[in-house]
Structure 1
């Protein structure tokens, strides 16, 4: 367990993270969520991360209450990532300790987050699964999943 306390994001993150653009339609975004089985995509513009879009952001567009009328399905699916993305998002750096990542994930109920360099360039993504693998690797416990 003590080995886990020393682990940093760069040792466990997924390096080849996929990104989306602000102009991607919700129809295409839905297809990406289905195909890649990711929970979130960083939104990239001019090689910098400008936001994050998650399945939660996508699903929130379909909430129907008396105070919030849902537009036609086709109109919703024609909206873009820019319409639903979160511009203020939680991210970490490669040198961030996994214990900090774990705390952020628990406190904010986050499934994954971008790993970003100082100039807002994406290094990768760190997910709950990545943290669990690191914990398993550090403890030698093959039953943690």
Structure 2
């Protein structure tokens, strides 16, 4: 039977909750993975992923509804004017969000595993929308990380050894 301690990757690249979104974007651009545990005093307080950051910069349909009519406005027509210009929206979103701390955009409800958890628990957790599991010791301190890739590699190696 495989356990988390057999699968985990260490050391783990992390970010701090007060790091700015722009810093994390730079780190992700250089990384071979798409998310970081957010750690404060060696304890996991969140996870930030590419998805969390992309959602900050997704342009939205911005429609301005303008009522048109004559006083006393008892009968009006409402016109929708699309004021969404993708490049402008992206620039505004970028300027508005790059200095935000990661703590404002991270997922704070983090699912973790312990080194002694077995492969079945890991498979159950990774079979949904979770892609990475921070591994914490009994004091809730980060000791490693397990990803879907780690599990697949370990299963491949185990089968090859048989």
Q: Shorter-chain TM-score: which interval?
A: 0.7 to 0.9
Map of 1:139 onto structure 2? 159
Which of 9, 15, 23 pairs up with 2:18? Answer: 23
1:73-118 Cα deviation digits (max 9, x unpaired): 12211111111011111111111112221121112x2221100112
Q: Once superposed, what is the RMSD of the aligned Cα atoms? A: 2.0
Instruction: Report 1:1-145 matches (<5 A).
Output: 6-66=1-61, 71-107=92-128, 109-140=129-160
Shift of 1:63: 3.0
* TM-score, L = length of structure 2: 0.76
1:54-73 Cα deviation digits (max 9, x unpaired): 11111111233348x96531
Note if contact 2:57-2:93 (Cα within 8 Å) is conserved in structure 1: no
Unaligned 5+ segments in structure 1 are 1-5
Note if contact 1:22-1:80 (Cα within 8 Å) is conserved in structure 2: yes
Unaligned 5+ segments in structure 2 are 63-83
Classify the secondary structure of the residue corresponding to 1:79.
Answer: coil
Classify the secondary structure of the residue corresponding to 1:78.
Answer: coil
* TM-score, L = length of structure 1: 0.84
Shift of 1:13: 0.7
What is the aligned residue count?
135
Note if contact 1:39-1:112 (Cα within 8 Å) is conserved in structure 2: no
Note if contact 1:9-1:98 (Cα within 8 Å) is conserved in structure 2: yes
